[in-house]
């Protein structure tokens, strides 16, 4: 191949992998997304909580650390690909790529416990094996944390595991069980996340047993505290500036975040709470024949509640009671009715609760301050919502107000 062709090929792969390392190596930090994507797209996940000792149906568990599939980006989705023959959890120099057929251990980044399965029934799928992160309780239950990597879409038996491009299965060495998404929602003790099992009778290709690396970086921190800071840091994506129009359009959409206005969201919830408390107060006093409001004002207040508070309840409560995973769009109709209720409550406080001119002046000043803060938050987060201003990596990190916000940061 000519140097020009190689440069073109490398540029194309960089766009596919979004500038992340192409080849997965021992020591790589990865997030693993299930290819099946049903009932919702999700990532292999673990957290500190353990399986209950006894389930509601009377069956027992290993009381090991839970492993689930989680439908949101989270720091607990990161895993380290470890060489079973070595202790290090960093990528060596030069990197040693993982190939089809290699034995690996998957170490959970935040808890440093290894992915494990054994002859214990899964919580919701009793004919499959429980998958956990191994905790050494110093009892006769040894770790069984070796997995053989199978690249499903390989071209040859020496293929290297690649970011995004490779579809892989993890076959348990001791039991031949395959890591699988069952799709069942765990009870409250599992935070309604999706069940992961070891499927012993898996034959052939099925998306629920296939995974691919969506996010990838070469681990550089051997100490756990430094590694946790590394895992919490935003993904650093190095994307070439020489992009086609469609590639630039696609990249632009990945950098737009529908955050809404936090001040308005919180204010809407407070308005609903204030409306409920005031309504209860008025009803209790009316039972004692104390009428705080003129009849026409009371009817307007009740009508506003029927429309706005009732609209919120109709659009929110059904989703609140659902057991499936919920997303932002489930809450937006309810939020609309909350926002409609907000000026009703503000006007009511000004007209009927502020008795003197001084109280009205103070309340008006508070409303102006509230409105100014809403405008300030909107203007501050505007680059994330509309992408109309170029920000430096430092400025982007300053807008990451919560650790759970995943913001794409380009390196130039």
**Better-scored residue on pLDDT, 277 or 9:** 277
Chain centre distance of CA 302 = 39
pTM: 0.60
Query: Model confidence at 386, in pLDDT bands (50, 70, 90)?
Result: confident
Helices 262-287 and 357-386 pack at an angle, to 10 degrees, of: 140
Please, are residues 205 and 35 in contact by the beta-carbon 8 Å criterion?
no
Residue 1 above 60 pLDDT?
no
Residue 346 above 50 pLDDT?
yes
Nearest to 29 by CA among 194, 173, 232: 232
Residue 9 above 50 pLDDT?
no
Q: Which CATH architecture has domain 3-232?
A: Trefoil (2.80)
Residue 259 above 50 pLDDT?
yes
Residue 390, pLDDT score: 78
Helices 262-287 and 295-304 pack at an angle, to 10 degrees, of: 130
As a whole number of angstroms, the distance between CA 96 and CA 105 comes to 15
Residue 102, pLDDT score: 97
Three-class SS of 136-186 = CCCCCCCCCCCEEEEECCCCCCCCECECCCCCEEEEECCCCCEEEEEEEEC
Q: Which phi and psi angles does 352 have, rounded to 5°? A: -120, -20
Q: On the CB side of 357, how many CA atoms lie within 13 Å of its CA?
A: 0
Report the DSSP pairing between strands 147-151 and 168-172. antiparallel
Residue 3 above 80 pLDDT?
no
φ/ψ bin of 63: left (φ > 0), alpha (ψ from -120 to 50), beta (otherwise): left
How far from 320 is each of 73, 186, 193, 215, 221, CA to CA, in Å? 21, 17, 16, 31, 41
How far from 399 is each of 260, 385, 395, CA to CA, in Å? 14, 11, 7
Q: Which phi and psi angles does 362 have, rounded to 5°? A: -65, -45
Nearest to 22 by CA among 174, 186, 166, 178: 166
DSSP state letters, 220-285: ---SHHHHHHHHHSPPEE---S---HHHHHHHHHHT------HHHHHHHHHHHHHHHHHHHHHHHH
* Neighbouring C-beta atoms of residue 384, cutoff 10 Å: 19
pLDDT digits (tens, 9 = 90+) for 105-153: 999 999 999 999 999 999 999 999 999 999 988 777 788 999 999 999 9
Share of the chain above pLDDT 70, in %: 84
Residues in the chain: 412
Each domain of the chain, given as residue ranges in start order, spans 3-232, 262-399
As a whole number of angstroms, the distance between CA 107 and CA 82 comes to 7
Report the DSSP pairing between strands 147-151 and 211-218. unpaired
| Angle, CA of 398, 402 and 407, to the nearest 5° | 65
Residues 26-45: what's their mean pLDDT? 92
As a whole number of angstroms, the distance between CA 303 and CA 321 comes to 26
Share of the chain above pLDDT 90, in %: 53
Residue 166 pairs with which residues in a beta bridge?
none
Q: Which phi and psi angles does 232 have, rounded to 5°? A: -75, -20
* Neighbouring C-beta atoms of residue 346, cutoff 10 Å: 17
pLDDT digits (tens, 9 = 90+) for 167-190: 999 999 999 999 999 999 999 999
pLDDT digits (tens, 9 = 90+) for 275-334: 999 999 999 999 999 988 899 999 999 998 889 988 988 888 888 776 555 667 778 888
As a whole number of angstroms, the distance between CA 74 and CA 158 comes to 32
């Amino acid at each position: 191949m000519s140097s020009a062709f190689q440069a073109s090929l490398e540029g194309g792969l960089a766009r596919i992998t979004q500038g992340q390392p192409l080849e997965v190596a021992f020591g790589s930090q990865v997030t693993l997304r299930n290819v099946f994507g049903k009932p919702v797209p999700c990532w292999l996940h673990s957290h500190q909580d353990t399986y209950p000792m006894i389930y509601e149906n009377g069956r027992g568990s290993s009381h090991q650390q839970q492993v689930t599939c989680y439908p949101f980006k989270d720091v607990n989705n990161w895993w380290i690909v470890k060489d079973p023959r070595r202790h290090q959890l960093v990528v060596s120099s030069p990197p040693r790529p993982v190939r089809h057929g290699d034995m690996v251990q998957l170490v959970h980044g935040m808890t440093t416990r290894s992915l494990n399965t054994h002859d214990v029934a899964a919580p919701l799928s009793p004919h499959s094996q429980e998958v956990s992160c191994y905790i050494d309780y110093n009892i006769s239950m040894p770790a069984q944390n070796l997995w053989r990597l199978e690249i499903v879409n390989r071209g040859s038996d020496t293929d290297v595991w690649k970011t995004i491009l490779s579809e892989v299965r993890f076959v348990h060495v001791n039991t031949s069980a395959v890591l699988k998404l069952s799709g069942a929602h765990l009870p409250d003790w599992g935070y309604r996340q999706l069940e992961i099992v070891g499927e012993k009778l898996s034959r052939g290709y099925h998306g629920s047993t296939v995974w691919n690396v969506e996010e990838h970086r070469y681990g550089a921190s051997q100490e756990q505290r430094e590694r946790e800071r590394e895992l919490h840091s935003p993904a650093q994506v190095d994307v070439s500036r020489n992009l086609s129009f469609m590639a630039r359009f696609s990249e632009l959409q990945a950098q737009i975040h529908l955050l809404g206005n936090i001040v308005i969201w919180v204010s809407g919830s407070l308005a609903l709470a204030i409306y409920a408390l005031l309504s209860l107060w008025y009803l209790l006093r009316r039972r004692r024949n104390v009428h705080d409001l003129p009849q026409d004002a009371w009817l307007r207040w009740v009508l506003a509640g029927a429309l706005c508070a009732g609209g919120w309840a109709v659009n929110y409560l059904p989703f609140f009671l659902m057991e499936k995973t919920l997303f932002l769009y489930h809450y937006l109709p309810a939020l609309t009715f909350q926002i409609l209720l907000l000026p009703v409550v503000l006007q009511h406080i000004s007209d009927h609760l502020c008795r003197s001119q001084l109280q009205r002046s103070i309340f008006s000043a508070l409303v102006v301050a509230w409105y100014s803060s809403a405008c300030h938050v909107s203007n501050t987060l505007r680059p994330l919502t509309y992408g109309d201003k170029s920000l430096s990596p430092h400025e982007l990190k300053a807008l990451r107000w919560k650790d759970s916000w995943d913001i794409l940061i380009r390196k130039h």
